[in-house]
């Protein structure tokens, strides 16, 4: 079923309402009307870290205040919570050209995020973690074709456009695909990992099981070309990794392994599409 994502002006949603309606329930929302920084601030932050637009993202060590960037109050409130773990570099800076499209995926490390549109606009697709697409074995990227468009009879999803001043809450495990619509679109987003796993959603159970198997069979990380360091999962060290891996046990763990292995024979059929999508993502960057 396709649903409409809520769009709420920032002056009409106090922090406690955001926490009760969206954050704790891990449901996406767009908060509008937050004055974004200028494009010059983005370039200044990129220059500070010696980063240039390219595949992936540019990380910045900034967390709260700086001479250039004024962090929205809602973001500051989330980053100060005791029930989350921040990475060493919790800020991501993005700058993409028209046509750049991410591959459909959910964020590893059980990341949640707030994504702030600064310039340009982007088309989003978010899919519920309870109606997930198939994923490449042991990997957060979806095993879908290049022209994938979610079927409302199979998936619960929303599609929307963000413009400057929009702040999107992307809960963990929500697969998403994002396309830049203008000559240059830039974003700032903050990411963190909750200290406790979420086994109430299908992808949450999968993530914990995959993490457990990757700990048991270290070679899986090399097989899937996944750079995540298991001993520092989500920035929380071995303790956080243990909490997540111990969440799924017994038959659920075995079923998860069987499900991942069952997709291995399908990889050759998706290789061409995946190669094209990666090449398109690189070529369309500034």
Does 285 score more than 50 pLDDT? no
pTM: 0.89
> Per-residue pLDDT for 59 more than 60?
no
Tell me the per-residue pLDDT of 136-159, one tens digit each, with 9 for 90 and over: 888 898 988 777 899 999 999 999
- Which has more confidence, 193 or 227? 193
- Per-residue pLDDT at 55: 46
- CB-based contacts of 219, cutoff 8 Å, min separation 6: none
Please say if the pLDDT value at position 24 is more than 90.
yes
Q: pLDDT by residue (tens digit) across 61-106? A: 555 456 678 889 999 999 999 999 998 778 888 878 788 888 899 9
Phi, psi at residue 167, to the nearest 5°? -120, 115
User: What's residue 222's pLDDT?
Assistant: 60
183 in Cβ contact with 194 (< 8 Å): no
Phi, psi torsion values for 70, nearest 5 degrees: -100, 115
Structural domain for 9, as ranges:
1-286
pLDDT higher than 50, residue 286? no
Q: Burial code of 174-191, b = ≥16 C-beta within 10 A, e = fewer?
A: bbbbbbbeeebbbbbbbb
pLDDT tens, position by position, 243-253: 999 988 888 89
Give the bridge partners for 7, in sequence order: 30
Question: Residue 198 and residue 20: Cα distance in Å, rounded?
Answer: 16
pLDDT band for position 56 (cuts 50, 70, 90): very low
3-state secondary structure of 89: strand
How many CB atoms neighbour CB 110 within 10 A? Answer: 26
Beta strand 29-32 with 58-60 is unpaired
Q: How many domains does the chain have?
A: 1
CATH number at residue 109: 2.60.120.650
202-235 pLDDT tens trace: 999 999 999 988 888 776 656 555 545 566 788 8
Of the chain, the percentage scoring pLDDT greater than 90 comes to 49
């Amino acid at each position: 079923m396709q649903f409409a994502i809520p769009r709420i002006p920032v002056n009409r949603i106090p922090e406690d309402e955001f926490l009760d309606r969206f954050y704790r329930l891990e449901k996406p929302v767009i908060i509008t009307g937050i004055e974004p920084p200028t494009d010059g601030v983005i370039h200044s932050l990129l220059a500070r870290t010696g980063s240039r637009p390219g595949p992936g993202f540019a990380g910045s060590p900034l967390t709260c205040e700086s001479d250039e960037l004024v962090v929205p109050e809602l973001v500051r409130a989330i980053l100060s919570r005791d029930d989350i773990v921040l990475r060493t570099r919790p800020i991501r800076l993005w700058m993409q050209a028209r046509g750049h499209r991410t591959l459909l995926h959910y964020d590893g490390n059980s990341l949640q995020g707030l994504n702030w549109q600064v310039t340009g606009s982007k088309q989003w697709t978010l899919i519920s973690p309870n109606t997930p697409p198939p994923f490449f074995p042991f990997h957060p990227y979806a095993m879908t074709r290049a022209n994938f468009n979610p079927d409302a009879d199979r998936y619960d999803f929303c599609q929307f456009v963000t413009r400057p001043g929009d702040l999107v809450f992307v809960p963990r495990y929500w697969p998403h695909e994002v396309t830049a619509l203008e000559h240059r679109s830039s974003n700032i987003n903050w990411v963190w990992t909750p200290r406790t796993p979420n086994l109430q959603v299908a992808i949450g159970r999968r993530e914990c099981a995959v993490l457990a198997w990757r700990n048991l069979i270290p070679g899986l990380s090399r097989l899937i070309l996944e750079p995540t360091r298991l001993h520092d999962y989500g920035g929380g060290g071995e303790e956080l990794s243990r909490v997540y891996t111990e969440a799924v046990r017994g038959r659920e763990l075995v079923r998860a392994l069987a499900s991942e292995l069952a997709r291995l024979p399908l990889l050759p059929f998706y290789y061409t599409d995946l190669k094209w999508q990666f090449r398109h993502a690189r070529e369309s960057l500034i």
